[in-house]
Amino acid sequence: MHKYKILLADDHKVVTAGIRSLMQRRTDLCIVGEVGDGADVLPKTCELKPDIVIMDISMPHVSGVEAAQALAEHCPQVKIIIYTMHSDPRFILELFRTGIAGLVMKEEDPQELIAAVDCVLAGGTAFGKYNPQRMVSQLLQSTADVSETERIQELSPREAEIFKALADGHSIKHIALELHISPKTVETHKYNIFDKLHVETLTELTKLAIRHGVILA
């Protein structure tokens, strides 16, 4: 019978011992090695050539995210399953962008890890109990936030000044008096700002300003 080789990367011995106990029940799975330092993941993978690396995010010296990026670059044929306590969407999104094949939270039933291994070996992507729709939503939101930030940064100093004033609820006349320019000039800036920020109303403008800390809610 063909045995699939698995490398464990976790700095907690109790975790790797638990995974070993779990995997020993399967005759088609073989744990070929363990590392407890993120810096050792790539060289050990190159040496042992596992089919799957089961890896934590938090490890000494090199994080799981960095190790996953190195594996994706140098050993793209190796499947990576992240087994972690961290559910921070920033890490999760970065890992799936890197190309990991699976994610299982340590708080889940250990059988979820076995299910993830089977899923990955079958060519699928394993999310465990993590909701992929939620992840996609967070990814789209993070992309939108980046786009909004870039658009705000493209405003000229005068436009940025008027953007803040409009979001603060000041009238065209008040802004004109404060900046010693004509109301018509303020109106022109206003519509240029709307166009650059892709908003159509003052309400949308204000919400965008609050999201990015331009004004306080």
pLDDT in tens, 120-156: 999 998 887 666 666 656 655 655 666 788 889 999 9
Which has more confidence, 126 or 45? Answer: 45
Mean pLDDT taken over the chain: 88
The per-residue pLDDT for 139 is: 59
The per-residue pLDDT for 86 is: 78
Domain boundaries, the chain: 4-130, 135-211
Domains 4-130 and 135-211 equal at CATH topology level: yes
Class of domain 135-211: alpha beta
| Residue 32 exposure: Cα atoms within 13 Å on the Cβ side | 18
Please, are residues 41 and 67 in contact by the beta-carbon 8 Å criterion? yes
Q: What does the DSSP assignment read for 139-168?
A: HHHHHHHHHHHHHHHTS-HHHHHHHHHHHT
Architecture of domain 4-130: 3-Layer(aba) Sandwich (3.40)
Structure token pair of residue 178: 């404060």
